[in-house]
């Protein structure tokens, strides 16, 4: 997908954490961007309109994942579609089928159908590590990579609705590609941190970091694989621009235990009220982004991600300066 002059692309769920950084990156590279949002005039999307080149190269479209027609209007004429939109519940949901699964699965079907109809060059579907590692049958000595899939029945049994929705949606996306010859590449990020662009809403992964900084009684000392949101945006664009990109790509960079993460934050920001009690859990996993790195992907140091995250929270007024 060489040469981006005047190339028109679509980003679904453009106001989200990852999608906002992707829109910023695309605009900086000279792309004309169609962003789908629920209500274009809402102030929660003001951060997009303030991005460099947004005034001339960004158009926000009102679209609903469950409305095929609204998606078509945003996708028509686009060379690529980056399907980022998907519900990420930060609390328990009363009706997971309606609130999580249907928008993720049916929404993906609608996006893909609209892409096929519009003859889009390539679709990059942003999945999640949630579609890879939630499987009790994975050998503990195995390095988890793109060949691994979450067990959907196990996800249902344990009520991991986000994991189920991402697994089902990604499976259907790749199956759709096989059936229709639509070019689909998927990116599966791990735990995404980094500075926020949006100031009126806080994404689920940032809430976890804020919980650590604001103090909580105890935390599970589990293995976390962190990746910077800006590096995820780079990976998504790389998956479009590199002709040889195909299939799935696991996108992760830094493994760290929760207790070690707290200690690292303490060494940089010593004055916050950090948790002191940790519950040990048997949760060691080994992940590999070798396939993505072979495509040319690189990632930044963990310290940079943590510092930029915290500073952005303070600037947004959601974390007290100490």
Q: Which of 48, 87, 46, 89 is nearest to 64 (CA)?
A: 87
Give, in order, the Cα–Cα distances in Å from 3 to each of 30, 145, 236, 242. 10, 31, 16, 11
pLDDT digits (tens, 9 = 90+) for 6-18: 799 999 999 999 9
Task: Write down the pLDDT at residue 57.
Answer: 97
Confidence of residue 201 (pLDDT cuts 50, 70, 90): confident
The enclosing H or E element of 254 equals: strand 254-257
pLDDT digits (tens, 9 = 90+) for 95-142: 888 888 999 999 999 999 999 999 999 999 999 999 999 999 888 778
Return d(Cα 303, Cα 72) in angstroms, integer. 41
33 forms beta bridges with 9, 58
Task: Write down the pLDDT at residue 118.
Answer: 96
Task: Write down the pLDDT at residue 152.
Answer: 96
Going by C-beta distance under 8 Å and a sequence separation of 6 or more, which residues neighbour residue 59?
Answer: 33, 34, 35
Residues comprising the chain, all counted: 322
For residues 95 and 299, which has the higher predicted lDDT (pLDDT)? 299
- Note the pTM of the prediction, 2 decimals: 0.94
Task: Write down the pLDDT at residue 3.
Answer: 45
Question: Do residues 301 and 181 touch, judged by C-beta distance below 8 A?
Answer: no
Task: Write down the pLDDT at residue 1.
Answer: 47
pLDDT digits (tens, 9 = 90+) for 39-90: 988 888 999 999 999 999 999 999 999 999 999 999 999 999 999 998 777 6
Task: Write down the pLDDT at residue 93.
Answer: 74
Q: Which of 164, 151, 28, 34 is nearest to 87 (CA)?
A: 164
Max mean pLDDT among 37-51, 236-250, 274-288 falls in 236-250
Catalytic residues: 166
Average pLDDT of the chain to the nearest whole number: 92
Return d(Cα 297, Cα 222) in angstroms, integer. 26
Return d(Cα 209, Cα 262) in angstroms, integer. 9
Task: Write down the pLDDT at residue 2.
Answer: 45
Q: How many of the other CB atoms lie within 10 Å of CB of 136?
A: 8
Task: Write down the pLDDT at residue 90.
Answer: 61
pLDDT digits (tens, 9 = 90+) for 211-221: 999 887 788 89
Question: Do residues 82 and 10 touch, judged by C-beta distance below 8 A?
Answer: yes
Q: Which of 163, 189, 185 is nearest to 174 (CA)?
A: 185
Average pLDDT over residues 130-159: 92
Confidence of residue 276 (pLDDT cuts 50, 70, 90): confident
Confidence of residue 226 (pLDDT cuts 50, 70, 90): very high
Question: Which conformational region is residue 120 in: left (phi greater than 0), alpha (psi within -120 to 50 degrees), or beta?
Answer: beta
Q: How many of the other CB atoms lie within 10 Å of CB of 317?
A: 9
């Amino acid at each position: 997908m060489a040469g981006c002059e005047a190339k028109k692309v679509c980003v679904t769920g453009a106001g989200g954490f990852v999608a906002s950084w992707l829109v910023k990156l695309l605009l900086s590279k000279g792309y004309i961007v169609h962003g789908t949002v629920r209500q274009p005039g809402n102030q929660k999307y003001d951060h997009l309109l303030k991005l460099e080149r947004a005034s001339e190269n960004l158009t926000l479209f009102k679209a609903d994942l469950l409305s095929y027609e609204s998606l078509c209007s945003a996708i028509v004429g686009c060379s690529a579609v980056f399907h980022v939109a998907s519900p990420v519940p930060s609390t328990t949901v009363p009706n997971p089928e309606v609130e999580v699964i249907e928008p993720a699965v049916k929404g993906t079907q609608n996006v893909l159908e609209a892409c096929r109809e519009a003859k889009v060059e390539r679709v990059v579907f942003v999945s999640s590590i949630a579609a890879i590692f939630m499987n009790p049958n994975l050998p503990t000595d195995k390095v988890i990579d793109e060949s691994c899939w979450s067990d959907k029945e196990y996800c249902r049994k344990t009520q991991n609705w986000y994991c189920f929705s991402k697994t089902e949606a990604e499976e259907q996306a790749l199956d759709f590609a096989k059936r229709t010859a639509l070019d689909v590449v998927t990116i599966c990020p791990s735990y995404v941190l980094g500075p926020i662009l949006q100031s009126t809403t806080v994404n689920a992964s940032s809430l976890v970091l804020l919980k650590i900084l604001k103090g909580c009684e105890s935390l599970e000392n589990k293995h976390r694989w962190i990746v910077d949101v800006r590096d995820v945006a780079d990976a998504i664009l790389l998956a479009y621009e590199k002709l040889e990109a195909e299939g799935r790509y696991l996108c992760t960079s830094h493994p760290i235990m929760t207790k070690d993460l707290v200690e690292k934050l303490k060494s940089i920001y010593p004055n916050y009220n950090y948790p002191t009690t940790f519950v040990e859990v048997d949760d060691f996993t080994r992940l590999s982004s070798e396939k993505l790195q072979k495509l040319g992907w690189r990632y930044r140091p963990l310290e940079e991600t943590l510092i930029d995250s915290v500073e952005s929270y303070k600037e947004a007024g959601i974390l007290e300066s100490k």
